[in-house]
Amino acid sequence: METHLLSLNAGSSSLKFAVFEPAAGWSPERLPTALLRGEIDRRDDHALLRYAAAGEAQRNIEPPALRGDIGAETAWLIGWLQRELGLAAPGIVAHRIVHGGLKHTRAVRIDARVETELRRLSSLAPLHQGPGLQGVRAARQALPGAVQVACFDTAFHAGHEDSERRYAVPRRWHERGYQRYGFHGLSFDAISRRLPALLGHRAEGCVVTAHLGSGASVCGMRALRSVSTSMGFTALDGLVMSTRCGSLDPGLLLRWMEHDKLSAKQISDMLYHESGLLGVSESSGDMRELLASSDPRARQAVDLFVASVVRHVGATAAAIGGLDALVFTGGIGTHQAPVRAAVAQRLGWMGVELDEAANTAGALLVSGCGSRVTVLALPTDEEAVMALQAIEACAGTQPATPRESAAENVLAQGRG
């Protein structure tokens, strides 16, 4: 398909993008190289666009004050790409959509029916699903001739066994879609495609990847496929995150409702927006700021984050039967050497040992020569995986996945 492709990755604090050339010669075994990639990073009312063409230095500009409106940011970005950089209008736009439910377990072209199904899942990923769909609508309006494709964060975990999928709740609720889904699948997919070249035969073994950023989760892989992951029904579960709580005793929710008379909205706002690093530190959900702070509350937040990562890496290694390699990725995992060092120190009993100089220098391979576990600090590339999946969706070449179930996804269909 001789057309440029635009990947749009709407996150909880940024809008990442990448432009790819026509897909002739692309291979699923190798991630394509972007012609141009960048990110609109939002902090309060301030935004900064960082971008770089392939092989060139990064440039920064300040876009208009769009106040975190993903639709407006998407429309502005598409216009800027064409107006300022002279790029031809892309024929395919790949969108990161966090939740696909049970029904959507691979990338799909977006029509009215698909968009309606995905909108019904918004309550399961309130920080991401709505913004992702805002991007779809804005891109459709700005590029009416382009094909819009949804690429799902839940899809990589589609083959999990029943013991990893179920909660111990009455069977009827499981059958209505109340199950563990897992997230950050595009990131884990990207990492899995790079591992054979970096690890050789060890890539087929037991690998735990820790995607650490504003959102954070751990994925355990065997034979480059997801076997276990820390997130569940929603993107609240698992690790401590920037503003999200991570794993929580459900009894707390009952107590807040029954004793403290908090409404569902109050609890939702607290757990999604006021908890995590921000809630503990009472100053910031940004790991960079916390590491630079002398406030003991900031230190507490960092320590709690590290303990959470250690706990879930250990549990995931147990679930997949060992630990041959540990991969750090995401904004924190790739760039914050002190966090990697603290996690590795506490995992020393598992054979994890870092090379201090390599870790501090931000090398790709950060494990020491005596480490029984290979440790990597590896940038992810969700946008490249989205490009591959979008091309496959448009060509109709996607393989069936184990999650494709005969049962209707009750959540996506809005029943019950």
Tell me the Ramachandran region of residue 35: left when phi exceeds 0, alpha when psi lies from -120 to 50, beta otherwise.
Answer: alpha
Same domain, 276 and 133: no
What H or E segment, with its residue span, contains residue 313?
A: helix 296-320
* pLDDT-derived band at 68, boundaries 50, 70, 90: low
pLDDT at 356: 98
Specify whether 171 is located in the same domain as 251.
Answer: no
**Total domain count for the chain?**
2
Which residues form the domain of 263?
200-377
Domain membership flag for residue 186: no
Q: What is the pLDDT of residue 355?
A: 98
137 and 284 share a domain?
no
What is the pLDDT, as a whole number, of residue 44?
60
Q: pLDDT at position 86, please?
A: 82
Whether 213 contacts 287, CB under 8 Å: no
Residues 198/199/203/205 CA torsion (nearest 10 deg): -160
157 and 57 in a common domain: yes
* Residue 239: CATH number of its domain: 3.30.420.40
pLDDT range class, residue 45, cuts 50, 70, 90: low
pLDDT in tens, 91-146: 999 999 999 998 999 999 999 999 999 999 998 888 789 889 999 999 999 999 99
Q: What is the mean pLDDT of residues 191-217?
A: 97
In a domain, residue 167? The reply is yes
What is the rounded distance in angstroms from the CA atom of residue 5 to the CA atom of residue 93? 6
Kindly state the tokens that stand for 404: 């494709």
Q: How many CA atoms lie within 13 A of 294 on its CB side?
A: 0
How sure is the predictor about 225, in pLDDT bands with cuts at 50, 70 and 90?
very high
Report residue 227 as tokens: 């076997």
Asked if the model's pLDDT at residue 67 lies above 70, the reply is: no
Q: How far apart are CA 121 and CA 156, in angstroms?
A: 18
pLDDT at 410: 37
Residues 13, 140: one domain? yes
Alpha carbons within 13 angstroms on the beta-carbon side of residue 259 total: 6
- pLDDT of residue 22 exceeding 90, the answer is no
- Asked whether residue 188 is assigned to any structural domain, the reply reads no
pLDDT score of 156: 98
Sheet hosting strand 108-109, strand order edge to edge = 59-61, 46-53, 36-43, 14-20, 5-10, 92-97, 147-152, 108-109
Do 137 and 40 share a structural domain?
yes
pLDDT over 70 for what percent of the chain? 92
Q: Are residues 68 and 87 in the same domain?
A: yes
- Indicate if 360 and 220 belong to the same structural domain: yes
Residues 205 and 352 in one domain: yes
- Angstrom CA distances, 139 to 70, 127, 236, stand at 11, 19, 28
Residue 126 belongs to some domain of the structure? yes
Query: Hey, which residues are catalytic here?
Result: 153
Decide if 56 is inside a domain. Answer: yes
Q: At what angle do helices 70-83 and 129-142 cross, to 10 degrees?
A: 40
**Residues paired with 217 in a beta bridge:** 211
Judge whether 178 and 171 are in contact, CB under 8 Å: no
Give percent of the chain above pLDDT 90.
79
Q: How confident is the model at residue 405 (pLDDT cuts 50, 70, 90)?
A: very low
One domain, residues 211 and 128: no
List, for residues 140-183, the tens digit of each pLDDT value. 999 999 999 999 999 999 999 999 999 999 999 999 999 999 99
Does residue 193 form part of some domain?
Answer: no
At 275, the pLDDT band (50, 70, 90 cuts) reads: very high
Contact 333, 213 (CB under 8 A): yes
User: What integer best gives the mean pLDDT of the chain?
Assistant: 91
The reply to whether 314 and 395 lie within a common domain is no
Q: Are residues 16 and 152 in the same domain?
A: yes
Name the more confident of 66 and 315. 315
Alpha-carbon distance of 188 to 335, in angstroms, equals 17
The pLDDT score that the predictor gives to residue 415 is 32
pLDDT band at 24 (very low <50, low <70, confident <90, very high): low
